[in-house]
Amino acid sequence: MTATYITTTIPYVNARPHIGHALELVQADVLARFRRGSGDAVRFQAGTDDNSLKNVLAAEAAGVPVREFVDRNAEAFLALAGALSLTPDDFIRTSRDPRHRPGVERFWRACSADLYRKRYEGLYCTGCEQFYTPAELNGGRCPEHDTVPQQVSEENWFFRLSRYAGPLRQAITTGRLRIEPAGRRNEVLAFIDAGLADFSVSRPAERAGGWGIPVPGDPGQVIYVWFDALCNYVTALDYGGDGEAYQRWWAGGGNRVHLLGKGVLRFHAVCWPAMLLSSGQPLPTGIFVHDYLTAGGRKISKSAAAVAAVEPAALAAEYGADAVRWWLLREVPRVGDADFTVERLIARADDELANGLGNLVNRVVAMIGRYRGGRVPGPAPVPPGGEDLDAAIRQAGDLIGAALEEFDFRQATAAVWAIADEANRFVSQARPWDLAKAVAPERLDAVLSLLARACSALGKELAPFLPDAAARITGQCTPSGGRLPAPSPVFRRLGR
Ligand SMILES: [Zn+2]
């Protein structure tokens, strides 16, 4: 049994979650559910990054004690699991998980050959929690936040990243560390080839407001938030403890897959693998990078009002987890940004889920009820005109597997959608109601049998993507006492 470990990044909790966070969580959940369904042993991990200076500043601005502020927002992230029907096996909160600090301390010590102290002056963006060189700025402003970075001068611990250009390049070009999409892999290689500079991995405890993990043996310094945060992928496996989970999910021969947004690519594809090499640990096997969502054409800013407008839990409460998941999976491309609006969510759900899928299942169950007393006709040869539908049913599993191997969620959902699309076409063409009137029992049996097979396949193949809807469809397609239940809608229409 293959062990597959799937992680999302751990977001800062300086604000409540927005739809962009939901994208990564839903993608990871789909992969986890699909892999479990394929027989892998899966561990899906999510969490929050509590030890950030950004959280401290946001709490101060809100006039709330840091602990209370961090707890409140972290709870909102945790609540997404229920709201969006996610199945994380573990949820780590870096400030209060007892496994985290011993793991980070062990990691730090394991890297000690590459750690040294140095006086440093640079331009620091608190929004990004990173230093920038002047060349990386846009007209003197942070490319992510459009703010002017702070000039900071201090003595810090540094990590000898410069040593790892060769080994990193080799791991990436040989595919031992797979980075998708290819454009992101090339971006990382270009960054490595431009020369890797050592990076700061601590800051004075004073500037961190006393928040964070002290450097082992140097309590005047706090471990830099990125070093701390990246460690979560192994500290949650109890890297600092007895290591049983660590042996199973990280040190073993399985898959170790990180999902992340383009803004944190370098940390995950350069710094993190170098830290792992330095500390003598295996690399991740895969990194999948998604682009960003905008909302109504605008960057989802951290302003409370803008975030509130696209809060995934609120959207799921109003429109259902299925509709939110379907939009994220069907409309967000593998490469390129996507724009979220409630109108698009409603249009996509009504068009495909209510009118396409839901209507199909409803009609098929109703026809089997009306013409066959709820008894599903047994297997029959594929009737004329049903060849494309039969092919769509038989190919769906393989197509979904291949698409998810490439992290292509649109392609994967297209394979499910093809079943519904072909089935609706087949209903219009085969006209079961005419066959019933014409008393063509064998032909009608063959048509209904194929349509029932299509609905069952939809329930099965849809399960990783829309688990709640899949369960309802499967319920409609499962006879009890030999008969299907009475038809009941599997999706409600959202539009007016
Ligand atoms: Zn920034």
Residue 154 has pLDDT above 70, yes or no: yes
Does the annotation count 125 as an active-site position?
yes
pLDDT tens for residues 443-468?
Answer: 999 999 999 999 999 999 999 999 99
* pLDDT at position 36: 98
CA 461, CA 37: separation in Å to the nearest integer?
10
- Show Cβ contacts of residue 344 under 8 Å, excluding neighbours closer than 6 positions: 327, 331
- Catalytic residue, candidates 54, 100, 125, 271: 125
pLDDT classification of 436: cutoffs 50, 70, 90 = very high
Angle CA 214–218–221, to nearest 5: 50
DSSP classification of residue 281: -
* pLDDT at position 302: 55
Q: Calculate how far, in angstroms, residue 142's C-alpha sits from the geometric centre of ligand 1.
A: 5
* pLDDT at position 304: 59
Residue 219 burial (C-beta neighbours within 10 Å; 0-12, 13-18, 19+): exposed
Q: What are all long-range contacts of 383-386, with beta carbons under 8 Å and residues at least 24 apart?
A: 383/430, 383/443, 383/446, 383/447, 383/450, 385/426, 385/429, 385/430, 386/426, 386/430, 386/446, 386/447, 386/450
Does the annotation count 455 as an active-site position?
no
What average pLDDT score do residues 67-95 get?
Answer: 93
Q: Which segments of 378-483 are extended strands (E)?
A: none
Q: Calculate how far, in angstroms, residue 132's C-alpha sits from the geometric centre of ligand 1.
A: 9
pLDDT tens for residues 363-403?
Answer: 999 999 999 999 999 999 999 999 999 999 999 999 999 99
- Catalytic residue, candidates 142, 271, 455, 477: 142
* pLDDT at position 303: 59
Does the annotation count 21 as an active-site position?
yes
Q: Using a pLDDT cut of 70, give the percent of the chain over it.
A: 98
pLDDT tens for residues 46-59?
Answer: 999 877 777 888 88
CA 473, CA 467: separation in Å to the nearest integer?
10
Give bridge partners of residue 257 from the DSSP assignment.
Answer: 6, 286
pLDDT classification of 211: cutoffs 50, 70, 90 = confident
List the end-to-end C-alpha distance of the chain, in Å, as a whole number.
48
pLDDT tens for residues 246-276?
Answer: 999 999 989 999 999 999 999 999 999 999 9
Residue 361, token pair as written in the block = 């299942």
